[in-house]
Chains A and B, each alone.
Chain A
Amino acid sequence: MNHPAIQIRGVHKHFGALHALRGVDLTIEQGEFFALLGPNGAGKSTLINILAGLIAPSAGDISVMGFDVQQRYQQARQLLGVVPQELVFDPFFNVREMLRFQAGYFGLGRENDPWVDEVLEGLGLADKANTNMRKLSGGMKRRALIAQALAHKPPVIVLDEPTAGVDVELRQMLWEFIKKLNRDGHTIILTTHYLEEAETLCSRVGMMKQGEIVALDSTANLLNKFAGKHLRLTLGDVQLPPEVQSMVRHVERGVYTFALTNMIQIEYVLSSLRAGGIKVIDMQLNEADLEDVFLSLVGNTAAEHKLASQL
């Protein structure tokens, strides 16, 4: 029987008075590249920590390829590779030693060395293999952290903010390697603040808000369902005619972004501006992106998230 890669059923988590997860149901099929998005505090990391067995749910259950993460934790963890969000490392050992230890914890020995070499190569760590973890730069430590999660070649890989504070070179290298793993059949679950990464990479998206899944669909469907096009007009400091004010999504330094649901609205906006005596200095028409979907679903709480993605 072909079990889903991840099956989450009715998961609740209470931290004292805080109801961090409010009945999460989610199924991720094998081979998917799935994005789990949400603002800080939405419950993404709590859900991942329950999946990884680092915390216990208050109610509900999660299974990895059919193995319950609590009742059959050994099998579930064998199939799972989790990249923790915090940049942690063991200062006593070098990169290769750490990867061998990590594979060893999962019961793998020297026969796994070719895979360890492939991971080192794929993540640009080959020339740092014999360097002590303490002596690595922040970006290199992040690569080593990702490599450790992959050391036992898990079929289900969870990347919790893997590119936070990471340079462009690593991001590209990482995504090339992860895309290759996905092509080879590994299931990838990604949480990220960089929504453009999720949009480019992931075939399906789940959005969380205040401990609940508020949207779950293919990336294409979400974009079609929630977003149209954006008309960016440079107008300067003007008073907009009232009939178009409700269409304004964003204003910054005289640049007004109008959210359009169809192309006819372009002429409507322009004619209203002409009638109001407002001159258009510059004009751009953009496709809406996952960020617009995110903002429309998650609302004001996403302001912080959006800011983070722009940094």
Chain B
Amino acid sequence: MTYVEDIFLWLRTVFTIDVYMISTKIQGILWSIADVILVFFLLKISDIIRTRTGKRRIISRYVLLYLTAFATPLLVFTKTPHQFFLLESIVCGTQFAILVYTIFAERRGAMDFFRHIKSNQVTHVHNSSPYIGRDT
């Protein structure tokens, strides 16, 4: 336990506000880039599904995502934890809103798409393999 306590006591001398701001910016940029990528590919997946159901391609959600992608580097220029929190809230909040909306809006289409793929797969296996029913 003393060892852990020493680490905590050591922290108070090295983890200053400057170290906090730098580490926050680095981490914030890293997870924001990951968010941009994952939302982008979720929209691409949604587009595959929408194309199959004859719906038009997504535009507005891409625009919102690109805006957050352009705003992400601005995190580097924030000077206080408060500024960082505000900008991060806008960037992350928009990305989360896109994620939640997309997941709910495309849910039914995705299920139909997967059902179609599964039934096609079963038909395919039925025609080519003796193992039907054991693993599907």
Q: Is chain B a partner of chain A in the same complex?
A: no
List chain B positions with a Cβ less than 8 A from chain A. none
Residues in A lying within 8 Å of B, measured CB to CB = none
